[in-house]
Amino acid sequence: MTTTTTTIRPAFADDAPAIMQLVRDLAEYEKAPHEVLVNENDLLREGFGTDPVFTVHVAEVANEVVGMALFYNGYSTWKGRMVYLEDLVVKQEHRNNGIGKLLLESVFEYAKYTGAALVKWQVLDWNEPAIKFYKQYPVSFDGGWLNCRIMTEAMITTES
């Protein structure tokens, strides 16, 4: 999909440095740069290797990657095939130009193409600009759910 100045396309391995920088930019924005454990080699191996676990669409302006949508296929026991949008990021200086909309809608197109029943993602409750952006669409905000996670180094098995 292309507008006059922005091109949305699947990412290539050569885009890994730009994708990594967008990941770092997002972590800074979310005040959690110390949480980023992946590096460029991880992105190359896990996104562009022989068995990719995620897909990335990038936004280009004047041959520069200025945004990305990183997502992967999943499964909902209630709805079936789904797409999970892990991150949608546009460089600060390129926001409010419709790039986020183009990226998000490219994920929607991918979901429809692959037969997914839904697209899911999260947004921090304090991120008002993102919430306002998502409200352009008929999005459901699941207020009753709590996010859970555990890092593998913290996992223990319990004895029965």
Query: Which amino acids are annotated catalytic?
Result: 134
- Please name the residue that has the structure tokens 């080699």: 41
Q: Look at residue 64 and give its three-state secondary structure.
A: strand
* Phi-psi map region of 136: left, alpha, beta (phi>0 left; psi -120 to 50 alpha): alpha
Residue 99: how many other CB atoms lie within 10 Å: 23
- Please name the residue that has the structure tokens 């929607």: 108
- Please name the residue that has the structure tokens 């460089």: 91
Q: Are 8 and 109 in contact (CB under 8 A)?
A: no
What is the C-alpha separation between 98 and 32, in angstroms, rounded? 26
The sheet carrying 64-76 orders its strands as: 6-10, 55-61, 64-76, 80-90, 118-120
